[in-house]
Chain A
Amino acid sequence: MAEETITLEVTRYRPREDREPRAQAFTVPYRKDWVVLDALNHIKDRVDGTLTYRWSCRMGVCGSCGMMVNGVPKLTCAAFLRDYLPGPIRVEPLAYFPVIRDLVVDIEDFMGKLRRVMPWIIRRTEQPLTAGEYRQTPAQLEAYKQFSMCINCMLCYAACPVYGLSPLFIGPAAIALGYRYNLDSRDEGYHLRQPILAEAVGVWQCTFVGECSAVCPKGVDPAAAIQRSKVAGAKDWFLSILLPRGGRS
């Protein structure tokens, strides 16, 4: 009996030789319980050892295996072949990012932006460890929890045309993470962080396309984080007009 197969059209790009990426077709065995990443691993292990991509946990939590699958950003370890029958399946590097090689993109830009939004707890005074934990009720935890679920997989950036058009845009995940700390009852860094989120290249660039949230595999809803930061930013702005000496300390 002939084995069932499915075809993957994989983008290849060799930095030293190619000027443009090109597609290469591979036919792999079809298995009901295989994800796209399994198919790529099959190619790498048995067909073409030069195929280049990132992966690690294959359980949707390390955030390294994001690629475009039929034009939509996906974690390839969570994208089942069976959902793309009968194929072919287009596998491309995440959109809008510079491509290093094949399916590997450069995310240094995001790493810099993440640092800029100061994703850490800022306090005026640190309580000593001997005094125990900062108290935080389940409701206070709930207030920011959703925005702390980001695995930095970059799918939202690959879905956001605004990022494609203006790469300076801080972008969905970084803003969501900055906003997460603004919402944390233990944090006192709003006055430092919010001005960065509310820069011209920050939340105001977002036109609420909303695709970032649609593709997010972890339900983070960065679009909501951004719009809520806009509301906060607008409030601050009007307050600063009404009370020029700063209603906020």
Chain B
Amino acid sequence: MLQHDVLVIGGGGAGLRAAIAAAEESDRLSIGVLSKVYPMRSHTVSAEGGTAAVMRENDHLDFHAKDTIFGGDFLSDQDAVEVFVREAPAEVIQLEHWGCPWSRDPDGRVSVRPFGGMTVNRTLYAADKTGFHMLHALFQTSLKYEKIVRYDEWFATSLLVEDGKVCGVAALNLHDGQVSPVTAKAVIICTGGGGRVYPFTTNAAIKTGDGMALAYRAGVPLKDMEFVQYHPTGLPGTGILITEASRSEGGHLKNKDGYRYLQDYGLGPPTDKPVHRKMELGPRDILSRCHIQEYQKGRTFDGPYGHYVHLDLRHLGEKVIDKQLPFVRELTRNYVGIDPVHEPIPVRPVVHYMMGGISTDLDGATVLPGLYAAGETACVSINGANRLGSNSLTELLVFGARAGRAAARDALGRPPIRSNPLAQLAADERRRLNERFLRADGRERIAEIREEMQKAMEKGLGIYRDRATMQETCKTLRHLRERFAHVGLMDRDAVFNTELIAALELESLLHVAETIAHSALAREESRGAHTRTDFPKRDDTRFLKHSLATHTPDGPRIDYSPVTITRWPPEERKY
């Protein structure tokens, strides 16, 4: 049997940081990293803009905390935010020591740039491939630790729970199709977000919310799932992200009349040089809503993939673009045939990030003993109702490390796992997969269900929401879940069965979609990324609280838990 002390599910930024932290905590531990793709393929690789931490004399931990809480529309747990901002600087420096090629100032210090919603320059970056460089630095550093054993291209299908404790996972090895138990005294879920519940998203194909579904199915509540961040500048069609850094470097958003429309929505006045939290540097939720309002006023462009506006970088000049935004130029040239040096880039809001996730404490621990979570899949919660750009890369470092250390300590204190019952549980899981997918003769097609789910989500749970459409979406999702029970696979092969993976991912997506829809329906207010036309105001008396979605056979049950307020009492969020 495959046995470890700590098992990390996911080889993205959070997972690798957790694994290294666990390895450094004690050299008596054996650590497994199990990932459905090779770690360097994880979606952290595509993060572009940067990672926030207080680095300079003109900045202060409290400023960073305030910006984060304010940006999150006061739904952030303030004790978590304080831990976050305090540990962030050491974490980004740690990454520097591990070789991350941060962009530099002439004096050799790491550079910082402005970012949406931040009041001070505090976003470190590696040109516009920050996530790529962070992930590869973490991955390459992780190779140094012999204690870290990797299971590349293994898909975790369910948590193994014995006596109310997590003892490992059942996982499918793509290379031979075998389902095996991988046991551990502590399991950390770091499986990233689930943007693929929507049709237009910056998220990669692998972002299907598997980890959230794993925990949810095991009875762990998902917190604040209704908060889904739209990024205002994705490419129409593919959803490829044009990083916020293009705006912090001075790019302008213009409607079809060439007018910088953000000034009409209280974000002005327009200036030539970017000003913190003004105009294009406003927070993402607000910018995305402005876009929709422009559309409703008929002032956006119309293209084959719907409405769009222009992101204009031309005035920055070729030199700045090539030095600070080379990837933007590469992407627009390759994917829409546009050179931002000479032409404006068509952009529209696309789904980008999930503020919600597996509910954890400050150490990443969940209510289920032995189970931890970190990264985008978790909700600690620092992002509240709206994440500020460049906070999530930092989040996965800080809380990845904390979860890794906590899980390591936890594992040191636990007795060895009894393997017999687990082998039995894994055998059950094997049977489940066989009967549900490989031997079943259903006629429903995966792609069809997925597309209908995505359409329903965009319709009901988009940037603007109201009760009637959300109810309709909830009904559709319910119906799709029934159809999913009759899904049929064409591929019955054991080796590298990607259709089976697609089915398992769709199962996760449907769970995640339902938690989003039901949490959103229950929250009768507008806060951060959750905007309801029928309840346009924030309502602190009724809803200054986290929603918790718990799995029941009839769909999610929504409960609430209080928000931790330490030093920043709620005030109106105005920019």
Residues of A within 8 A of B (CB): 14-16, 33, 44-46, 48-50, 52-64, 78, 100-102, 104, 107, 111, 114-115, 118-121, 126-127, 129-130, 132-138, 140-141, 144-145, 148-152, 177, 181, 184, 186-187
Contact = CB atoms under 8 A, between A and B. Distances in A.
Contacts of A144: 101
Contacts of B133: 148
7 tightest CB-CB pairs across the interface, nearest first?
A135-B108, A45-B447, A49-B490, A119-B140, A50-B491, A121-B99, A56-B204
B490 A62 contact: no
B98 A129 contact: no
Contacts of A129: 90, 93-94, 97
A86 B109 CA distance: 52
What is the interface of chain A mostly: helix, strand, loop, or mixed?
loop
22 contacts: A14-B495, A15-B495, A16-B493, A16-B494, A33-B237, A49-B499, A50-B490, A50-B499, A53-B498, A56-B37, A56-B41, A56-B43, A57-B43, A59-B331, A114-B140, A129-B90, A133-B96, A133-B97, A134-B97, A148-B136, A184-B99, A186-B97
Nearest to B99: A121
Interface in B299-345: 327, 330-331, 334-336
A134 B96 contact: yes
A61 B109 contact: no
Which of B99, B206, B497 gathers the greatest number of chain A CB atoms within 10 Å? B99
A49 B40 contact: no
A141 B104 contact: yes
Contacts of B510: none
A101 B493 CA distance: 10
Contacts of B499: 44, 49-50
A16 B334 contact: no
B33 to A, nearest CB: 13
Contacts of B204: 56-58, 62
Interface size range on B against A: 35 or more
Contact of B106 (A44, A56, A132, A137): A137
Contacts of B129: 61, 149
A135 B491 contact: no
B496 interface: yes
Nearest to B150: A111
A79 to B, nearest CB: 10
B107 interface: yes
Contacts of A54: 37, 41
A58 to B, nearest CB: 7
Interface string B86-104: 0000100110111101111
A57 B45 contact: yes
B374 to A, nearest CB: 20
B104 A136 contact: yes
Contact of B40 (A121, A140, A151, A181): A151
A90 B38 CA distance: 26
B367 interface: no
B97 A50 contact: no
B490 A48 contact: yes
A132 B238 contact: no
B205 A121 contact: no
Contacts of B237: 33
Given A129-B93, A136-B108, A62 B45 contact: yes
Contact of A126 (B97, B99, B140): B97
B143 interface: yes
Contacts of B37: 54, 56, 62, 64
Contacts of A141: 101, 103-104
